[in-house]
Amino acid sequence: MMRQYELVERVAGYIENPNEALLNQAYVYAMQKHGEQKRASGDPYFSHPLEVAAILTDLHLDEETIAVALLHDTIEDTDATRREIDELFGEKIGHLVEGLTKLKRLDLVSAQAKQAENLRRLLLAISDDIRVLLVKLSDRLHNMRTLGAMRPDKCKRIATETMEIYAPLAGRIGMQDLRDELEELSFRYINPEAYEAVIGHLEELAEKNKSLTLEISQNLENKLAEAGIKARVSSRQKKPYSVFRKMESKGLNFEQLSDIYGFRIIVETVEDCYRALGFVHMEWAMVPGRFKDYVSVPKQNDYQSIHTTVVGPARQRVELQIRTEHMHGVAEYGIAAHTSYKDGEDPLLESSAYETLRKTIEQLAEGDNPEEFLEHTKLELFLDQVFCFTPKGRIIALPKGATPIDFAYAVHTDIGNSCIGCKLNGKIMPVITELQNGDEVDIIRSEKQSPPAAWESVVATGKARSSIRRASRQAVRKQYSTLGVRILERAFDRAGKTYNSELLELALPRLARESLEDVLTEVGRNEMRAENVIMAIYPDYQAAEGDKGDLSEAKSKDDVIPNRIPIRGINSDLPVQFSKDGGAVPGDNIVGILVPGEGITIYPSESKTLARFKDDGAHLIDVRWDVDENNQERFPARIRVLVDNKPGILALVAEVIAQNDGNIQNLSMKVLVDEFMEMEIDIDVWGLSHLTQIIKQLSVKSITTKVDRITE
C-alpha cells in the first residue's frame, strides 16, 4: 500500500511546490475514517481510495482532485459528514465528494428508474465540475481491476454497467486508454468464452508477426527521415473488445480482419502531419475509402489525427495514424490532458469535449422520465460519428446511422418538429436515409407539420427520440383539448348557458385542476363529465336526465343539430379514428363514440357494433361531416364480393377497383364451395358516391354474383 510520502512525491513529480498539507490531511483523515473496514478481497478498504488517487496522479491531476479521490467514499461508507469535510477541507472539496456520494450502486437488471435517477445526479455533478467524472472513472477502473473477488452474477452486472455507461463516458471525454481498459475488463466478465478465444488469437498473431511489425516501423521511420521529416513510429495491436465488436458487427472471422495492427506516426508540427501523409501516399498505394482527416475536423472529444490505410511492404495493408505529440497526449488522456487547475485558470475552457458533454447533459436532463433518460444517455454516449453540413457550412456531428431527422433536431428542436422532407447534396431524398460523412443536408420545413410518432423508431439520437415523443404527446393533448372545447360548447348550449374560458379559469379550484388545458383535455378524453364543469361555474345548475348522452340518441340524416362536432378526417385537430369493422365515409350518417383515453371512433349509424358500447362507459358524441369538394383525404370502407372461383379472378376484381380510383388496403379470401369465392376488401375512397360507384362497377361484371358493403 502506497505510503503518505510516496503519494506526495508522485504529485511533486508533475506539480512544482504541491500543497503537501492538503494531501497529508486527506490521507490521514480517510485512513482513520475507513479504519478496520475490509474490501471483498480481504484487503484494507483504504487501499481502494489510495489506488484511485494513484491512477489520478498518472493523469497528472491537481492536489484538490487527489484529495477528493482519497475522500470519495467517506460520506457514503463511514460516519463522516459533508459539514465535517467542508470545515476541514473547504466547501469545494466537500461539494465534489458529495457529488460522488449521491451515486448509489446501480443495477441494470432491476430498479432501472433508480439507476437512471442516480446516473442523472452524477451527470449533473459532472456538468458542474469535470473532476467528478475523472474521480468516478478512476474509481470504476480500480473496482474493475479487483472485480474477481465478487460473486459471478455481481461481476457480470457491474461489468455490463461499466460497458454501457462508464466506458462510453471515458470515450466521450477522449480518455481512450482508460476506455480501452474498462472495455477489456468488462468483456472478460460479460463474455468470458469469447474473451479467451480472442486473446488466444491475438497472442498467437503477435508472436507470428513480431518481426514484420518491427520491420514496417523501421521502414516508415527511415523513409520519413530521408524525406526530412522527423518522426517517431510505433505499432499497436487492436484491443480484444474492438476485435470482437468488429467481428460481430460485420460477420467476419478472425482471419478476415485486416486491421489488427496499426502504426502511429508522431511528428512535431501540424504541417509535418500533412507532409508525412503526402510522402506515405506517394510511397505506397492508398486504400480507397480509408482516409479520414480529424486534424482539420476534430471529433467532439477533441481527438485529432489523420487516418489512412496503404498497401505497404510485403503487400500488407497498413493502417496509419499521423499526429503531433500534443494530439497524441489528447488522444491517450483526453480531457485530462487539459486539466491542471493552476493559478486560478481553468484549462477546461480549451476543451470542446467538456463543452459538448455539458450540452449533452443539458439535453438529457430534459428527459420526461428516468427510463427515457437512461435510454437517451446510452444513445448519446457512443461516438461512432458522421460529420454533415448545413447549407451555410456549419458542421453537425451525429452518431453513425443518423438520419436527416436526427440532423434537423441537432440543429434545433423547432426545425426537427417542422421537418417534412430534406435535400441531401442537392437531391430530394427520404428523411429516413442514413447520412454519410460529408453530406450537405437541407431540411424542408412546414410550420403546420407535427412529427409522426413512427419517426421515433428510425432516429438514432436521444434528443430526436425525446423531442418526437414530447411533440407527439403535445399533439395528442392538443387534439383532446380541442375536442374538450367542442364538447363543452355543446353541453353549455344544451344547458342554456354560454361557454366562457375566463369563467372556467376562475372555477379551476372547484375542479381541483391546475390549468384550463388540464380540464379541456380530461373532458376530451371523457375522464371528466361536461356537466361537472358546468356545475363548477354555475353551482345551482342541475343536469337534466337527457343531457348525459345515450347511444339510443343516434340521429337520422334529416335531424340537424347545429352543435354537432364537425369531422374532417384523421389528420384534423381532433383525436379521430374510424371503425375497424368497416369504416365510415363522407355521406354516411355517422355516430361518434368517445371511449376514455381512445378518442372518438366514427361509425355509420347503422353499424351493429354500436350496441356493445351501451354498458362500456362510452359516451355518445353528436358528429357531422365537414368535408369540402377539394378534400384530399380518403376514408376507409369494407365491401364483400361474391365471385366465380376461377383463375385470375383476383386480378380482375383489383383491376375494376383501380380503374375506379379505389385504393385497396387489405383483402381476405375464402372458398365457399368449389364454384364460388368470397372476398372481403378494405378500400379507401373519397366518399359515399365514390364507394357506390365502385360497388356498381363490380356488380355489373359477369364474374360477380353479389357485392355489398360491410358495416358491422
- Tell which residue, 578, 591, 583, has the closest CA to residue 622: 591
**What is the grid cell recorded at 176?**
481512450
Instruction: Give strand pairing partners of 267.
Output: 231, 324
Question: What b/e string do you get for 669-691 counting C-beta neighbours within 10 Å, with b at 16 or more?
Answer: eeeeeeeebbbebbbbbbbbebb
Residue 442: CB atoms within 10 Å: 17
Residues 333, 53, 171: CA angle, nearest 5 degrees: 30
Distance of alpha carbon 637 from alpha carbon 604, whole angstroms: 10
**What is the grid cell recorded at 398?**
451525429
Residues 593, 595, 598: CA angle, nearest 5 degrees: 110
Catalytic residue among 20, 58, 76, 332: 76
**What is the grid cell recorded at 308?**
489512412
Distance from the Cα of residue 61 to its chain's centroid:
33
What is the DSSP annotation of 440-499?
Answer: BEEEEE-TT----GGGGGT--SHHHHHHHHHHHHHHHHHHHHHHHHHHHHHHHHHTT---
Question: Are the CB atoms for 310 and 284 separated by under 8 Å?
Answer: yes
Using CA atoms of 492, 496, 501, 504 in order, give the dihedral in degrees to the nearest 10: -80
**What is the grid cell recorded at 455?**
419517426
Question: Are the CB atoms for 301 and 172 separated by under 8 Å?
Answer: yes
Whether 76 is catalytic is yes
Residue 59: CB atoms within 10 Å: 21
CA–CA distances in Å: residue 87 to residues 81, 102, 571:
10, 20, 63
* Pure H helices in 150-191: 152-161, 167-172, 176-190
What is the strand order of the sheet 635-644 is part of? Answer: 663-673, 676-685, 635-644, 704-709
Whether 493 is catalytic is no
How many helices (H) does the chain have, and how many strands (E)?
A: 28, 21
In the numeric block, the cell 473477488 is attached to 149
Angle at which helices 20-34 and 4-12 pack, to 10 degrees? 140
Question: Are the CB atoms for 695 and 623 separated by under 8 Å?
Answer: no
For strand 619-621 and strand 419-424, is the pairing parallel, antiparallel, or unpaired? unpaired
Question: Are the CB atoms for 600 and 623 separated by under 8 Å?
Answer: yes
Catalytic residue among 77, 489, 547, 680: 77
Distance of alpha carbon 88 from alpha carbon 85, whole angstroms: 5
- Tell which residue, 553, 527, 699, 692, has the closest CA to residue 620: 553
Catalytic residues, by residue number, are 76-77
